[in-house]
Amino acid sequence: MKLRLPLFAAATALALVTACTPGTGGGGGGEGDGKSFEFWSFSAINQKLTVDAYQAKHPDIQIKLTEVGTSTETAQSLTTALAGGKVPDLVLIQGDNLPQFVEQPQNFVDLRTLGADDVKGDYLDWVWEQSVAKDGEVLGVPTDVGGMAVAYRTDLFAAAGLPTDRESVSALWPTWDAFIETGKRYKQATGKAFTDNAATSVFYQAVNQVSEKYYSADRKLVYSTNPQVKTAFELGIKAATAGITAGQSSFESAWSAGMAQGQYAAVSAPSWMLNSIRSTAPDTKGKWDIAKIPGSGGNWGGSYLAIPKRAKNPQAAWNYIKEMQSPAGQLEHFTRVGALPSTPSVYKDAKLTDAKDSFFSDAPTGKIYTDSLLALKPFYIGPDSAAIGQEFLNAITNVEQSGGNPATAWDDAVRNIKTAIGE
Amino acid sequence: MTATLTPAPTAALPPPAAPKARGLGERLAPYAYIAPFFVIFGVFGLFPFAFTFYVALFDWNPIGDQVFIGVDNFTRMFGDPRFWNATGNTLSIWVLSTVPQLLLALVLAHVLNHARLRFALFFRMAVLVPYITSVAATAIVFVQLFDRDYGLLNWLLGLVGVEPVDFVQSTWGSHVLIATMVTWRWFGYTTLLYLASLQAVPRSVFEAAAIDGAGSWQRFRHITIPSLRPVIIFTVVTSTIGGLQIFTEPLLIASGAPLTCGAVRQCQTLTLFLYEQGFGQFEFGYGSAIGVALFVMVVAIAAINYLLSTRIKADR
């Protein structure tokens, strides 16, 4: 019997979640006292600082902050909660997870009913659009965006005879092909890997710089026929087979160890990655700098705040969104934790443009990242975008780390995607 | 023999009272005592179990629509290369973990049962230590030991001139890694099962064989193994059922793509595939269908166990 427990546990988990259909548990929402609300956020993003700042200004409001886990775990918990459990009043959803919730707008408060239309103009329009459901319901307010850049080790670049100041380094790689060539120069000079991996540091960046990604503007699947996707994929394969990568998948423990030990010299770094580098390799303080991303601008990451339909205190949650996600609120959040605002009106603010990061050789982070956003071409992100992206990443990792055949990688990826999304 | 008669002790007792008509409460009380288990089992075991079969017939979005699609999930599953890949991985990891584990346990049990073994209790307890270590801790340590660039094992291989092996990213390497973890965790438990069974064999049998000139190998071959046959069958079946459900180890070894256990699903087991579909993709219907398939496999193996064990009894 003991050994059969996992099967029962899996069945139990499945059935517990499925036992209740959406909206059946806990009334229609809104019956709370309006003086308190529950907030689910991710761990390790310092959300508490901003919550504390709000409570200092509003001593009569109680916020119960729960750091659920990673962004994926938070989305999983939210799904479970929406299916029949106790929902929070306010929840942070990472951009990659957002489409699956936008497909089911009946689970969330349409923020237009609380006044979202009044603040819409404050945000980058393409970021805002991603949380709008098919009938125009607004499900979330963007809290931050990632932007794009490359973080590199000045000491390792110097040892390889490459320039070290950020302007000259940016000039090394106007295109992704030039980035790969720079990697070969570095490898030749040092014998070491240039970047962490081909999948995230090359393909995932390049594929986010397109004007049309896995879906066309009219929301049809075009991942297998879109030449822009194929070009980005081939860049990834080229990097994987050029021998310039360390073959360390992002966020694995050996990736962290490799970063701390200087196993690779450059890593693609949206603004939120800076925190990750800082905590992963604290001893490398001052040895990093930040250069422009090859190609044009682009974005990786960013999150949204949403209010579930059954929330007990939707108004209190909305008041929080309105105040803390206003342009001024996001600018303040940027100065506290470095998350890049999604409100373009503050991009020229001195607090942002003058912000320098001493860990990264006093790089003007605010300016570098906002520049990458302003050069961005928005595209539609659909319900299967995350699954499609994952299969492409897997195909490149397979070539890089598991000896997969680069010649068949594209066809393999497309076939796996068809299986995965049931097309 | 004395002829003294002693009165039968029972005679001194009053005659048993006629059974009173018991109250309803008293008759129901025993059921109330055992109810907690059955209620909890029903809520967390039986109901979800039965419900899985129901959900498997739907295209079931936990936060959206639930559409009845009959056996489509099963048709899809049989044509899904990922399902067969997971089945193959599961079987491969099962063989790689069960065979060495049972052989190791057999030998260890034989040694631990040796009459002249000193500190026997210490050694018998020591083999259980891996079993009581948490799976997650075991996985973290083993992944570091087997790491491509920073692992102790590859460092040792490097000393004798072997190129570093990427255990996690290669198919056989990841299977070996997982099988090693499973073996490490379970060999002590199996050893104790064998040992308990061995201790039921009279020591005189071993001694008589020794006096007749049987060496250690002959005693192992002709006494230990035949007397352990029923428990060997039992452990083969339990480790098969356990092997079909390996989940934590593959989930933890490839932290870059945990739900697929690597970029090409090289070590994704059936339970991990179930979890990926259910809780990664939120396809509850399809996830349930995989659960049903897993259930059928477990039942089939349990049936084989039943047939084998009745035959063994009949042979005796």
Q: How far is B171 from chain A (nearest CA, A)?
A: 8
Asked if residue B15 has pLDDT above 50, the reply is yes
CA distance A288 to A284: 7
Domains: count for chain B: 1
8 Å CB contact of B82 and A258: no
DSSP for chain B reads: --------HHHHSPPPPPPP---HHHHHHHHHHHHHHHHHHIIIIIHHHHHHHHHTTEEE-TTS-EEE-TTHHHHHHHT-HHHHHHHHHHHHHHHHHHHHHHHHHHHHHHHHT-TT-TTHHHHHHHTTHHHHS-HHHHHHHHHHHT-TTT-HHHHHHHHTTPPPP-TTTSHHHHHHHHHHHHHHHHHHHHHHHHHHHHHTS-HHHHHHHHHTT--HHHHIIIIIHHHHHHHHHHHHHHHHHHHHT--HHHHHH-TTSGGGTSTT-TT--HHHHHHIIIIIS--HHHHHHHHHHHHHHHHHHHHHHHHHHHHHHHH-
- Residue B290 within any structural domain of the chain: yes
Of residues A86, A13, A4, the one with CA closest to residue B51: A13
Average pLDDT rounded to a whole number, residues B243-257 = 88
Distance (Å, rounded) from C-alpha A275 to C-alpha A261?
18
Mean pLDDT computed over A22-38? 66
* A407 touching B (Cβ < 8 Å): no
Bridge-based pairing of strands A36-42 and A90-94 is: parallel
Give the residue from chain B lying closest to A81, CA to CA.
B63
> Are A100 and B282 in contact (CB < 8 Å)?
yes
Segment A196-222 shows an average pLDDT of 94
Q: Do A251 and B256 touch (CB under 8 A)?
A: yes
pLDDT, one tens digit per residue, over A272-299 is: 899 889 988 999 999 999 999 999 888 9
Q: Does B272 touch chain A (CB under 8 A)?
A: no
- Mean pLDDT for B86-110 is 93
Q: How far apart are CA A148 and CA A292, in angstroms?
A: 8
Chain A CB contacts of B262 under 8 Å are 402
Q: Which of A270, A282, A256, A146 is nearest to A196 (CA)?
A: A256
Whether pLDDT at B310 is above 70: yes
Distance (Å) from the C-alpha of residue B31 to the closest C-alpha of chain A?
23
Query: Please, what is the Cα angle at A78 between A73 and A79, to 5 degrees?
Result: 100
CA distances from B219 to B113, B208, B211 (A): 12, 10, 11
Q: Does A50 touch chain B (CB under 8 A)?
A: no
C-alpha dihedral over A405, A409, A415, A420, to 10 degrees? 100
Q: Is residue B218 part of a domain?
A: yes
| B36 inside domain | no
Across the interface, do A15 and B51 touch by the CB < 8 Å criterion? yes
Other C-beta atoms within 10 Å of B308: how many? 15
Q: For residue B132, is it within any domain?
A: yes
Mean pLDDT of chain A: 89
B267 in a structural domain:
yes
Distance from CA of A55 to the nearest CA of B (A): 32
Select from B253, B260, B10 the least CA-distant residue to B139: B253
pLDDT of amino acid A29 = 66
* Average pLDDT estimate for B190-195: 93
Residues A29 and A402: their CA atoms lie apart, in Å, by 50
Instruction: Enter the pTM of the model.
Output: 0.83
What is the CATH number for B111?
1.10.3720.10
CB-nearest to B52 from A4, A14, A253 is A14
Q: How far apart are CA A177 and CA A183, in angstroms?
A: 10
Residue B6 lies in a domain: no
The yes-or-no verdict on residue B87 having pLDDT over 90 is yes
In chain A, residues 377-396 whose CB comes closer than 8 Å to chain B: 387, 390, 393-395
Of B211 and A375, the one with more pLDDT = B211
Asked whether the beta carbons of A304 and A92 are under 8 A apart, the reply is yes
* Phi/psi at B285 (5° precision): -60, -45
**pLDDT tens profile A130-155:** 999 989 999 999 999 999 999 999 99
**pLDDT score at B13:** 53
CA distance, residue A15 to nearest chain B CA (Å):
5
Per-residue pLDDT at A25 exceeds 50: no
B121-151, pLDDT tens digit by residue? 898 889 999 999 999 999 999 999 999 888 9
CB contacts under 8 A, B 177-236 vs A, are none
Give the pLDDT mean for A320-347: 92
Enumerate the CATH 3.40.190.10 domain ranges in chain A, comma separated. 26-145+301-353, 150-299+362-421
B154's tokens: 């590859």
Report the distance separating Cα B15 and Cα B257, nearest Å. 76
In chain A, residues with a C-beta closer than 8 Å to the C-beta of B282 are 79, 100
ipTM, interface predicted TM-score of the complex = 0.81
**Predicted pLDDT of residue B21:** 60
Q: Do B149 and A252 touch (CB under 8 A)?
A: no
Q: Across-strand partners of A40?
A: A66, A91
pLDDT greater than 80 at residue B40: yes
Three-class DSSP labels, chain A: CHHHHHHHHHHHHHHHHHCCCCCCCCCCCCCCCCCEEEEEEECCCCHHHHHHHHHHHCCCCEEEEEEEECHHHHHHHHHHHHHHCCCCCEEEEEHHHHHHHHCCHHHECCHHHHCHHHHHHHCCHHHHHCCECCCCCECEEEEEECCCCEEEEHHHHHHCCCCCCHHHHHHHCCCHHHHHHHHHHHHHHHCCCCECCHHHHHHHHHHHHCCCCCECCCCCECCCCCHHHHHHHHHHHHHHHCCCECCCCCCCHHHHHHHHCCCCCEEECCHHHHHHHHHHCHHHCCCEEEECCCCCCCCCCEEEEECECCCCCHHHHHHHHHHHCCHHHHHHHHHHHCCECCCHHHCCCHHHHCCCEHHHCCECHHHHHHHHHHCCCCCCCCCCHHHHHHHHHHHHHHHHHCCCCCCCHHHHHHHHHHHHHCC
Domain limits for position B232: 73-315
Selection from A21, A39, A22 nearest residue A313 by Cα = A39
| Mean pLDDT of the residues in chain B | 87
B149–A401: do the CB atoms touch at under 8 Å? no
A26-145+301-353: CATH topology is D-Maltodextrin-Binding Protein; domain 2 (3.40.190)
Give me the pLDDT at residue B19, please: 55
On the question of pLDDT at A20 being above 60, the answer is no
Show Cβ contacts of residue B157 under 8 Å, excluding neighbours closer than 6 positions: B163, B164, B165
| B37-56 residues touching A, CB cutoff 8 A | 44-45, 47-49, 51-52, 55
Tell me the two tokens of residue A234. Answer: 């081939």
Average pLDDT over every residue of A169-180: 96
Residue B294: how many CA atoms within 13 Å on its side-chain side?
36
Q: Provide the token pair at A116.
A: 């979202």
A200: pLDDT strictly greater than 80: yes
Q: For the segment B222-241, what is each residue's pLDDT rounded down to a tens digit?
A: 888 888 888 988 898 888 88
Digit-coded pLDDT (tens) for B280-300: 888 999 999 999 999 999 899
Amino acid at B112: L
Sort out which chain A residues have CB atoms less than 8 A from B144's CB and list them.
253
Condensed to tens digits (0 to 9), the pLDDT of residues A64-84 reads 999 998 888 899 899 999 988
- Which of A93, A88, A86, A85 minimizes the C-alpha distance to A37? A88
Distances (CA, A) of A246 to A250, A279, A369: 11, 20, 26
Task: Evaluate if residue B23 carries a pLDDT over 70.
Answer: yes
CATH annotation of A150-299+362-421: 3.40.190.10
Q: How far is CA A88 from CA A269, A350, B181, B236, in A?
A: 31, 36, 39, 47
Q: Is residue B22 part of a domain?
A: no
Q: Taking each helix axis from N to C terminus, what angle separates B284-315 and A5-18, rounded to the nearest 10 degrees?
A: 150
CA distance A176 to A167: 17
CA B86 to chain centre: 18
Tell me how long chain B is: 316
Asked whether A166 and A367 are in contact (CB, 8 A), the reply is no
Q: What is the mean pLDDT of residues A11-39?
A: 58
Q: What is the pLDDT of residue B173?
A: 93
Count Cβ atoms below 10 Å from residue A397 Cβ, excluding itself: 27
Say what angle helices B135-145 and B171-199 make with each other, to 10 degrees. 130
Average of per-residue pLDDT across B191-211: 90
Residue B275 lies in a domain: yes
Q: Do residue A398 and residue B47 have CB atoms under 8 angstroms apart?
A: no
Stretch A206-228: mean pLDDT, rounded? 94
CA-nearest of B133, B124, B248 to B185 is B133
Contact A89, A316 (CB under 8 A): yes
Mean pLDDT of A216-223: 93
Split at pLDDT 50, 70, 90, the class of A23 is very low
Residues A217, A389: Cα–Cα separation, whole Å: 18
Q: Mutate which of A14, A104, A200 to test chain B, going by most B C-beta atoms within 10 A?
A: A14
Instruction: Specify whether the CB–CB gap between B171 and B85 falls below 8 A.
Output: no
Asked if A43 reaches chain B (Cβ–Cβ under 8 Å), the answer is no
Q: What is the mean pLDDT of residues B160-178?
A: 91
- Name B310's Cβ contacts closer than 8 Å, sequence gap at least 6: none
Strand partners, A90: A39
Please say whether the beta carbons of A310 and A171 come within 8 A: no
